[in-house]
Amino acid sequence: MDAVVLEQAKMDSVRVFSGSAHVGLAKEICDSIGVPLLPSVTRHFSNDCLYVHLGVSVREKEVFIIQPLSPPVNDHLMELLMMVDTARHASARRIHAVIPYYAYARSDKKDEPRISVTGRLVADLLRTAGASHVITMTLHSPQVHGFFTMPVDHLTSQSVFINHFRKRDLGNTVVVSPDIGHAKRAAKLARALNVPLAAANKERLTDEQVAVSAIIGDVRGKDVIIHDDEVATAGTLIKVIEVLLRKGIGRLTVACTHGVFSGPAIDRLRAIPEIEEIVTTNTVPMPAEKLLPNMTVLSVASIFGEAIRCNILGRSVGKLFAFWLDEQHNAQRPANISSL
């Protein structure tokens, strides 16, 4: 059989559905690979229980269900589990849970008595529901990948940030990680942009309170890109910005993959006129009331689309992975902390 015909036959076996969390992203992903987004129904019964229905047959098909765990997180999680379970009982060949934002990744360790490691619990629930495979992006910590007993494609959004920031003059720029413990992603961005790296020395006091004692690296007079995986209440971000502003930095940019911006985050960011640009992605939906004038939302649809295509055609997804070694930028060479 001709290779093109064989590839088309494989793509014809794909069935893509979206939960209610982010239909816009699901449509973009489908458009990027030339497949239709198929109909489904989600509604609540009068007692608040969910009803889920997939609109077409999935028997012996490759089923992809797209659903970020954005607020309301638990409703969207339950909807995803029910859609996966529905596809399993409808005799799908394989069921791929596409979760652009895995909210419970922040619950990744037992750091106090009598609590749940919920990141692991949700992974177990997905397996029980019938997920064969998970595609996600920028988990809060690498160990969360190991919570899953099924294959996981842990993708990175780095390429869209690189393309965005390379349009700038980066001659006086430094990338800042808001947390030394999570500096690896910021270091990869710094290497790719060929700029120095700095990091904040942060201590978390409560869920919403942190203390930032110092910035490790030379930032005085520099244009700064603060790069993080997620911004929720922006508590950490605000503390880091306060320290940076006292050091006399130049242009200030905030960049994050998951722009959750919960609670007081938008009001906090709006109150800092020194922020020139906030750059995030569309892993979670961005309602109009959260779109600040200085905010840029980059699409990751093509990254997820390529991951879906590679899975169907049996191709490597490696270079889309969050911790893939980037030979072009010599990933074995550590990014320089600019003051060391």
Assess if residue 324 is contained within a domain. Answer: no
Question: Apex CA 323: angle with CA 315 and CA 194, to 5°?
Answer: 110
Rounded to whole angstroms, how far apart are CA atoms 78 and 89?
16
Residues 227, 249, single domain; the answer is yes
Residues 52, 191, single domain; the answer is no
Residues 201, 247, single domain; the answer is yes
Asked about 202 being catalytic, the answer comes back as yes
Residue 113 makes CB contacts below 8 A (sequence gap 6+) with: none
Residues 215, 173, single domain; the answer is yes
Residues 132, 215, single domain; the answer is no
Residues 136, 165, single domain; the answer is no
Full domain range(s) for residue 183? 158-298
SS3 state of residue 184: helix
SS3 state of residue 316: coil
Plot region of 201 (φ>0 → left; ψ -120 to 50 → alpha; else → beta): beta
Q: DSSP class of residue 114?
A: S
Helices 23-33 & 301-313 angle (0-180, nearest 10): 50
Residues 9, 142, single domain; the answer is yes
Rounded to whole angstroms, how far apart are CA atoms 245 and 13?
54
Integer CA distances (angstroms), 275 to 83, 98, 121, 242, in order: 41, 33, 38, 11
Q: DSSP class of residue 250?
A: S
Q: What is the CA radius of gyration of the chain?
A: 21
Domain boundary among 109, 127, 155: 155
**Which residue do the tokens 């010599």 mark?**
330
Total tally of structural domains belonging to the chain: 2
> Which domain CATH number covers 176?
3.40.50.2020
Domain boundary among 128, 155, 182: 155
Rounded to whole angstroms, how far apart are CA atoms 204 and 51?
40
Count of positions (residues) in the chain = 340
Residue 184 has φ and ψ, to the nearest 5°, of: -60, -45
Assess if residue 149 is contained within a domain. Answer: yes
Assess if residue 333 is contained within a domain. Answer: no
Residues 25, 59, single domain; the answer is yes
Residues 39, 146, single domain; the answer is yes
Per-residue pLDDT of the chain (340 residues; tens, 9 = 90+): 577 767 787 888 999 999 999 999 999 999 999 999 999 999 999 999 999 999 999 999 999 999 999 999 999 999 999 999 999 999 999 999 999 999 999 888 888 889 999 999 999 999 999 999 999 999 998 889 999 999 999 999 999 999 999 999 999 999 999 988 778 889 999 999 999 999 998 766 555 566 777 899 999 999 999 999 999 999 989 999 999 999 999 999 999 999 999 999 999 999 999 999 999 999 999 999 999 999 999 999 999 999 999 999 998 888 888 765 554 444 444 455 543 3
Residues 207, 272, single domain; the answer is yes
Nearest in space to 104 (alpha carbons), one of 87, 88, 116, 90: 116
Integer CA distances (angstroms), 252 to 66, 178, 260, 264, in order: 34, 13, 20, 20
Residues 116, 187, single domain; the answer is no
Domain boundary among 155, 184, 212: 155
Residues 213, 118, single domain; the answer is no
Write down the catalytic residue from 61, 188, 202, 222: 202
Helices 3-12 & 301-313 angle (0-180, nearest 10): 110
Residue 108 has φ and ψ, to the nearest 5°, of: -115, 5
